[in-house]
Amino acid sequence: MVATGYVVAQRKAEVASKGTGRLEYLGFEEGDIVKKNEIIARLDNEDIKAGLDQAEAELVKAETDTIDASRKYRRANELFQSGSITKTELESAETLYLQTQAILNAVQAAVKVAEVNLENTYIRAPFDGTILTKNADVGEMVTPFASSASSKGSVVTLADMTSLEVEADVSESNINKVTPNQPCEIILDAYPTIKYSGYVKKIVPTADRSRATVLTKIAFSDIDKKVLPEMSARVNFFLENNKDQQDQLPVVVVPKDAITTRNGEKVLFVVLDELAIQREITVGRELSDVTEILNGVQQGDRVVISPPGRLETNQKIETSK
């Protein structure tokens, strides 16, 4: 059974600002990787910084006034106990102390407000991800809710590339053949010769009445950097009655020692004309002392066993006949 759909990112966000202002700094372009809480952009915030400086100065004054009023109140209490002043004078000193304490609390709150307003001018990444699109440029006005053509709502579109999956529409007549965790084969239209293994992650519990289909989410069991959001894909569902036949199909395997890592990718070195040629691979099942290779090499290719760390592509090697 076959269904078609598109690659989508499960975690995707239109990253916008909580404040309003002119975009002063944008530190990333499309394709750049960002970490959670990293500053992506900044709005013009000189006026907010000045407001924070003023609030902090008022806080220092309020703290000084409170300390002075506290001392006077303690002194007045001592004098009242000795009978040197009246109760009215003591109450006046207490009132002054309480007033300065209230002013101090208000100024502390004002400082926090100014700090929050300043933080709102910094646009941070909500999670680790990759910049897909840049929606605003330096100098443009940015608002949380863009209300005109001259202002922008979001600054960038961010996606977590590790959360890519395929959303496929399965016809109502075939949805009874699909079950959670059912194995699948994913083929992207961009790379028709590469087959990715996957499984049914979720069947959305509602149907599209206009198309008589049910949305099914397919997760990748193995994925590489070739897979990008919005790519069209074809999904082959392995039904129970042909799963055993699928397991009996011939597979390409190599010794586990032949697989190594270069720049975070699993690779093999294939021998062609006494030259070591590096190839990126997608691995499948672990079968005893060998590993299944889903793509990257073909049956009959000669591979380097236990390649040294300094081995590079197109490097000449000696082979045993």
Residue 50, pLDDT > 90, answer yes
Q: Enumerate the CATH 2.40.30.170 domain ranges in the chain, comma separated.
A: 163-248
Across the range 22-29, mean pLDDT stands at 91
Question: Can you tell me the mean pLDDT for 174-186?
Answer: 90
CATH of 252-316, one of 3.20.20.70, 3.40.50.720, 3.40.50.40, 2.40.420.20: 2.40.420.20
Q: Which two tokens stand for residue 145?
A: 């809710």
> pLDDT grade, residue 247 (50/70/90)?
low
Whether pLDDT at 282 is above 60: yes
Question: How would residue 240 be classed by pLDDT, with cut points 50, 70 and 90?
Answer: low
What architecture (CATH level 2) is domain 163-248?
Beta Barrel (2.40)
Residues 6+ apart with CB under 8 A from 208: 169, 214, 215
The region of weakest confidence among 38-42, 127-131, 305-309 is 305-309
Domain boundaries for CATH 2.40.420.20 within the chain: 252-316
- What integer is the mean pLDDT of 162-185? 91
pLDDT of res. 122: 93
Do you know the residue count of the chain?
321
| CATH 1.10.287.470, the chain: domain bounds | 46-119
Residue 25 is predicted with a pLDDT of 93
| pLDDT the model gives residue 321 | 55
Per-residue pLDDT, averaged over 203-228, amounts to 90
**According to the model, what pLDDT value does residue 76 have?**
93
pTM: 0.62
Q: What is the pLDDT of residue 242?
A: 52
- List the end-to-end C-alpha distance of the chain, in Å, as a whole number: 46
pLDDT range class, residue 108, cuts 50, 70, 90: very high
Phi, psi of 175 (to 5 degrees): -65, -25
CATH number for the domain formed by residue range(s) 46-119: 1.10.287.470
Banded pLDDT at 109 (limits 50, 70, 90): very high
User: In terms of Cα–Cα distance, which of 134, 170, 186 is closest to 14?
Assistant: 134
Band of the pLDDT at 250, cuts 50, 70, 90?
A: low
> In a 10 Å sphere around its CB, with 0-12 CB exposed, 13-18 middle and 19+ buried, how is residue 24 labelled?
middle
Q: Which residues of 180-204 are buried (b: 16+ CB within 10 A; e: fewer)?
A: eebbbbbbbeeeeebbbbbbbbebe
